[in-house]
Structure 1
């Protein structure tokens, strides 16, 4: 009887596997257990292990901080926050460009048990006011001057009461939750504290308090509210726990191979975005990697200079950023030491991947895919992926994550068929802050999170991103995925970058329109595109309208905002 039971169960298991492999479902079982650590505890462990190693190099500030420097300054800053009266769980905004102070503040907030709320440094008064109110920020750490931005002026325009307020307890009528503002400057500004003032508030007793309280901060506590970048809608506020960011940082870094050796990473992305916050900072803390900040904001020339000067071995960026970096290298032909290029934030065309290998001379190109709602990456390239997989997929599902692909009725599609990607696992956000309705729209009762992305999932857990469901063009009843057309058109010798969108058409519902950035300002017509595409794309996929542009509207993190392209079309009525 006992032997029969084993045989029966084994047969049932094989039968289950036989049926399940026909459907688009995959579970990547972890080789290592997840870690029950807070970000503050992880920072302390990293300081002990890699204390003298550089954690961050800020080229534009001419500053270099080791992991020990980061922890020491973070504890002093956290102690200063405690002296100001911040309580565990208080939401504190982090509104600044790429500076060492940003990195230190992010760790300080975790060490103090506070919740960091990274904000886009390009935000204007209305946007800042909206986000402060949305999550009830008690404090705000902000930059000084960033390009055309004067952070203090922006604040005092929508809340002039700040100027006459006591900095220990300001009152702003429009944002009544806000009590303290800390500015990263040495200039004294009325109603605020300087960053250095808060550091100097720390004493031996308050620093000891921070250290002793690390065990009282739970790994399941929220440590970060990471606003979505708002490519299709107003920003929402996903809540991420210490458990989310520590573990996602570890497994993302492992896939990038940061665990194999000491790597120096050039970060082209902004720190405030999940690509910078989790995929870069948290990964680097997990694996002792050095982050290089070439500039306070995006600058392709300075990015290449930093890569060369600091002998970076890894570079992070979005596809748009890589287009610029490749063009810079073609002009300058610098001697590079790059080994790995990591692309995320948006689907990357095979042409750009080929250029990364040939022009930047990297030995590996890796993709990562994820959402703010999944903390950061959930798919990424593996160590042994071949060229085809590196170029044509966003990698394999990461450890401890489940994925499935469903149709519009919610049923699993067969392997190899496109549908909506759903994710379940440790990295799923707790929910949108203060918005149960939106949370329930994206996470179902079985904890599956709907990504909104059209994906083809292979039987061994690799994903090919077809496009956003909202971006899909329906032309005369035919479903058209813009990415397929973009990947083809980018192979045209005169096209530098291309975005394909659906625009209104009276008879067909939508028609295909290509917005194109050309090399050396060359002219490309609709007829040129038709001749180039004829016999290679189905006729209904060939763009019927073409518009030459100088740039694309993007978020600060480098994602192209397609809905804005459509708005431009509607205003200007593109001519075929």
Structure 2
């Protein structure tokens, strides 16, 4: 018998039967007719009343079009193009992101049989690449995203633009004046509309007509065109739809760029199947995508690994229910089994898979939805060869097909493959595409293995293309620029990166005496090639121990060997790199780099944004400045005080101060009260002032309070007097009064270890082990209970297991026994449970706000995260004892400084009752409660109050609230020129929102103050105290804001006035709330009412993304207030605005409209062109 031949690595997808349109036009037309009344495209970032001349009037706040409406718009656009002289075969270039204009233009191009080239608008800054695109495509029409894009195009390629028939700007509504010869897309579209293309316009279509041109970098310097024909692109869509098994329950969240084949195909395979397409935003934004998943209940999502990683690290993930996801597809870059598992676990998707393809040929490999398991298998592949596709794995040298199981280069064939490249006038040699007796093929450059069952696994690359976050980065383009602009011999390789997949690193060989400034090189690369081409590092050959690049016998650089050496070098550097402060070194240059790294991390800005000479106060508000000393001490063991940061405004100056050793911010012991085994004596009770009678009364009240818990006076560690506003927040109008409820997943731990870690953490945080007593009308006390098994049994409850992390959101929800924390306590309760599907523990805590604030509570979370990872570890936080703050405040509450602070507030709030017409929102029900009002007490009668009815049908979301990202473009400029902070911009927007809704020329609302300073001290005295930002308990206060906003006042005048007042509010933040109210008399009653109606709260950014063992699932504020506007500074110029509200006073629809309104106002007033505008003209 002869030996059986080893099966070769070649496969062909199954042949699909049944009719299938042979042109893209027929395919799209068929869908238009079949699904005419179904929703086609929803753009959550575009207004619903856009192009109403076509779509008609709508009540939707965002754009939502049916197939019929989109067909009318694209037909109208096609007619307008014909009228402008455009004919079949002319080419259209569109620099557009995800927007309705993209859909209109693309479908119109298909109707006219005009090749359509979608480009990323963010590439227009690369003049050489833009000129190359015009040379390759030769367009007759160009469409720009906005005026800025149009101006850059005009600058980059003025000669090329002269030959165009038409230049259009998609969004010119809020931009400056357009360049000459550019028209508004909307005006062009909505000119007198015709219903159909003129009959005398004859269009002949064939399978070989080019319908789509995509640009791909490949390994050459300039991108080349990939022309997809009717044959290749309809084959693409047919293979894609075969994998999906779409039905009418599916909805596609389309956040990929439409300039990539991956993103484009996700859109159009959905539309031809009648599946609605949801665009969360113009460009990918993790927060917007999560909001779309929550609000639109999308079932399908696709992305490159870096996009999904961004979703997982986004703070909104924990409060977003993403279990609506049925199918998540990952492609565009290699992904590991662990990554896929993490995507599925974090998103709760039913099925997750990876697929494979490239711009020249996609999709190539994948799996049918019904054949996917509900879990990620250990042996990860890209799937089987898809219908209409051929795959072979070949020896890269000989081109022969290798046996299955052996590595080789992946070649893709079939109808999905393009048959040629478009190069324009530049002649280039390229052997990537070839044809044999089986048809057209493309050599992918990917290193692959075909399993014995015919599945494809991508294990690396032969071609030296770098794929950064799904973007193709040409090493040659970077090498050419380095040689052209800096006369540098360089070789660029890709190195692995956890988030981006790969990042470019340049290895350079300098000439004798040649100097290289990395910052200058980076700036030049970004300017000429774009931010994706920014180098991760520049390494000299001598640092690698090389005299020259490693080369073959023919003189060709061995990139694989060079890459291995670079990776090893970087790993060694990383292991050796420690903070110069921790090493005891004092080199200013090294210190500067440490500070830049920490500022970049805290501010959430991009690498390279902060330089040695960047004025930090332009980027950081007061809260951020206050957080930095703790971060610096945590990371390096050294610190700087806030005043020192302000006096030394740049990283370079701060490094110089640290190196000098003259900083006051040296590590200190912030525990002035040594631990005691005994309860406090009369002398140690600051409120008793040595009065034995008052001390004994305190002991008696505490004993009576502790007895039901099985505790006694011997279990008391301290009694701490509350400050006035703390007492105000403690008042029990209902069981959930001023409660917070947060839910966390404790990864990789069981109940026993989680409880041990929680107890260990609570032992370090006194204020989270407290009860509360009211001693008399003038004194409320926090009773700190000593850590013990008896105490932990009272405040920790273990509940039955839950199925998923999402179930935590309703664990014991509104349970009258345990879902609250109120006087007498415990003021901090913890519920523990087991999550079945993740096989780990979860924690829900409910805290009374008098025991913590938004700055002190993260200390507890950070310490718990450490102990969950290692129960024997010592948590890094070094908070300042809260007892020191409580004693200090109590001793000075009647001092001359305190009286001055009270007088400041009394003077500015006199006559407040005459402004009651500005109270907002309008009261529709008794009291003001976010969350459950069950068990509420009518303060006027002392009896249980009647049931409060919801204001609208969609009640129940008020406590959990909404959130929207506000883009304050230009805030750094506003701050550097006028000293206006982001918090002031949003606060001013709230002022204007109030005046619009009340019709009054003034606004009233309350504001929570962080008050992170030592009370009633002068600045020089505060500078000598421990850092107030590290106080391990609440310091927050409230101030009523009363702002006149006359219609004739300019935006800048109002901003400046509010910013100036904020400085005074900070100075007098600790004024006793009750003393102010008492001094104001009747105006004081109005002051308290204002505080109950509406509150503005500016919060510090979180470090939750850095937690290793905790993941937040829920955060609910149950404040006794009508509306709470929580605002958080995000990265760069973004702010999250997150209102929550009383469901009995306001409806969901009213709050959604107000949220949109306040964001719109803030984004408007921050723009320089509006600074001198009058308020009435906004």
Category of TM-score, reference length = shorter chain: 0.7 to 0.9
Show the 5 A alignment for 1:171-250: 172-185=158-171, 189=178, 190-201=180-191, 203-204=193-194, 207-209=197-199, 213=202, 216-228=204-216, 233-250=221-238
Contact 2:306 2:499 in 1 (8 A): no
Task: Give the structure 2 partner of residue 426 of structure 1.
Answer: 415
Task: Give the structure 2 partner of residue 129 of structure 1.
Answer: 131
Report how far residue 233 of structure 1 moved: 4.0
* SS of 2:81 mapped into structure 1: helix
Q: Deviations over 1:96-151 (max 9, x none)?
A: 12111111111110011111011111022513232112221111012115xxxx11
Match of 1:343 among 313, 330, 350: 330
Task: Give the structure 2 partner of residue 460 of structure 1.
Answer: 453
Distance between the aligned counterparts of 1:254 and 1:365, measured in 2? Answer: 16
Distance between the aligned counterparts of 1:517 and 1:202, measured in 2? Answer: 62
- Is 1:444 aligned to 2:437, yes or no? no
Distance change in 2, residues 1:274/1:499 (3 Å): closer
Distance change in 2, residues 1:434/1:232 (3 Å): closer
Show the 5 A alignment for 1:492-531: 499=502, 505=544, 506=546, 509-510=561-562, 511-514=564-567, 525=575
Task: Give the structure 1 partner of residue 28 of structure 2.
Answer: 43
Report how far residue 265 of structure 1 moved: 1.2
Distance change in 2, residues 1:233/1:515 (3 Å): farther
Show the 5 A alignment for 1:527-542: none
Match of 1:311 among 288, 297, 317: 297
* SS of 1:143 mapped into structure 2: strand
Report how far residue 417 of structure 1 moved: 1.0
Show the 5 A alignment for 1:323-338: 323-328=309-314, 331-336=317-322, 337-338=324-325
Report how far residue 255 of structure 1 moved: 0.7
Distance between the aligned counterparts of 1:299 and 1:30, measured in 2? Answer: 39
Q: Deviations over 1:283-337 (max 9, x none)?
A: 1122111111111112111111111111111111110001011122675231121
Report how far residue 439 of structure 1 moved: 7.5
Q: Deviations over 1:209-262 (max 9, x none)?
A: 49x756x2223210111111567642110110122222211221221332x444
Report how far residue 440 of structure 1 moved: 5.5
Distance between the aligned counterparts of 1:414 and 1:527, measured in 2? Answer: 45
Distance between the aligned counterparts of 1:390 and 1:77, measured in 2? Answer: 50
* SS of 2:447 mapped into structure 1: strand
Contact 2:253 2:289 in 1 (8 A): yes
Report how far residue 433 of structure 1 moved: 1.5
Distance change in 2, residues 1:101/1:517 (3 Å): farther
Task: Give the structure 2 partner of residue 370 of structure 1.
Answer: 357
Contact 2:393 2:408 in 1 (8 A): yes
Deviates more, 1:361-370 or 1:441-450: 441-450
* SS of 1:243 mapped into structure 2: helix
- Is 1:31 aligned to 2:6, yes or no? no
Contact 2:85 2:165 in 1 (8 A): no
Show the 5 A alignment for 1:410-425: 410-425=399-414
Report how far residue 197 of structure 1 moved: 3.2
Which consecutive residues of structure 1, in runs of 5 or more, have no partner in the other structure? 1-14, 160-171, 474-481, 529-546, 554-576
Distance change in 2, residues 1:144/1:472 (3 Å): closer
Greater RCO (Cα-Cα under 8 Å, separation 6 or more): 1
Report how far residue 37 of structure 1 moved: 2.9
Question: TM-score scaled to structure 1, two decimals?
Answer: 0.75
Distance between the aligned counterparts of 2:244 and 2:274, measured in 1? Answer: 13
Q: How many residues align?
A: 479
Task: Give the structure 2 partner of residue 556 of structure 1.
Answer: none
Q: Deviations over 1:398-449 (max 9, x none)?
A: 1021111111211111111111011110011131124697585112231322
Distance change in 2, residues 1:72/1:391 (3 Å): farther
Question: Which is higher, the Rg of structure 1 or of structure 2?
Answer: 2
Task: Give the structure 2 partner of residue 276 of structure 1.
Answer: 263
Distance between the aligned counterparts of 1:240 and 1:110, measured in 2? Answer: 12
- Is 1:157 aligned to 2:155, yes or no? yes
Task: Give the structure 2 partner of residue 77 of structure 1.
Answer: 77
Question: TM-score scaled to structure 2, two decimals?
Answer: 0.38
Task: Give the structure 2 partner of residue 165 of structure 1.
Answer: none
Distance between the aligned counterparts of 2:220 and 2:364, measured in 1? Answer: 21
Distance between the aligned counterparts of 1:266 and 1:224, measured in 2? Answer: 22
Contact 2:154 2:161 in 1 (8 A): no
Report how far residue 451 of structure 1 moved: 0.9
Distance change in 2, residues 1:516/1:74 (3 Å): farther
* SS of 1:77 mapped into structure 2: helix
Could you say what the CA RMSD is over the residues aligned between the two structures, in angstroms? 3.6
Task: Give the structure 2 partner of residue 379 of structure 1.
Answer: 365
* SS of 2:329 mapped into structure 1: strand
Report how far residue 156 of structure 1 moved: 2.9
